[in-house]
Amino acid sequence: DGGITQSPKYLFRKEGQNVTLSCEQNLNHDAMYWYRQDPGQGLRLIYYSQIVNDFQKGDIAEGYSVSREKKESFPLTVTSAQKNPTAFYLCASSIRGRGEQFFGPGTRLTVL
């Protein structure tokens, strides 16, 4: 079954801690994306990567970091520098070039 998996589904973090969200895809897509979604709002792009070992900042990259060491994986680290990290995080992937993005089920991060 091809698709995108995100883990964990729910994540709790204490203030001042870094936390890493996992995103894996077996669709053989070159491009991967991370979005943040807050209640009642649309999706805002955090980071994206078009190829392995390369990634670009999106609209709200401050306080986040990513890596792209493998085509299948694009983990997102929420650092302690992110002032308001409680949100729903969505990972997506796509074929490079024009085309729709396919989304994972999301991770809900809550800072305690």
Partner 1 sequence: AQSVTQPDIHITVSEGASLELRCNYSYGATPYLFWYVQSPGQGLQLLLKYFSGDTLVQGIKGFEAEFKRSQSSFNLRKPSVHWSDAAEYFCAVGATNNAGNMLTFGGGTRLMVKP
Site residues, partner 1 (CB under 8 A): 4, 6, 31, 40-43, 45, 48, 50, 56, 88, 90, 92, 94-106, 108
Q: Convert 96-108 to b/e letters by CB count within 10 Å (16 or more is b).
A: eeeeebbbbebbe
Q: How far is the CB of 103 from partner 1 (least distance, A)?
A: 4
Distance CA 87, CA 69 (A): 25
Q: Is 37 helix (H, G, I), strand (E, B) or coil?
A: strand
Q: How far is the CB of 71 from partner 1 (least distance, A)?
A: 14
Residue number with CB closer to partner 1 (48 or 74): 48
Q: How far is the CB of 5 from partner 1 (least distance, A)?
A: 10
Alpha carbon 89 to its chain centroid, in Å, reads: 6
Q: How far is the CB of 80 from partner 1 (least distance, A)?
A: 26
Residue number with CB closer to partner 1 (51 or 81): 51
Residue number with CB closer to partner 1 (4 or 111): 4
What lies within 8 Å, CB to CB, of 90 at 6+ separation is: 6, 34, 35, 36, 37, 43, 103, 104, 106
Residue number with CB closer to partner 1 (19 or 36): 36
Q: Are 64 and 75 in contact, with CB atoms under 8 Å apart?
A: no
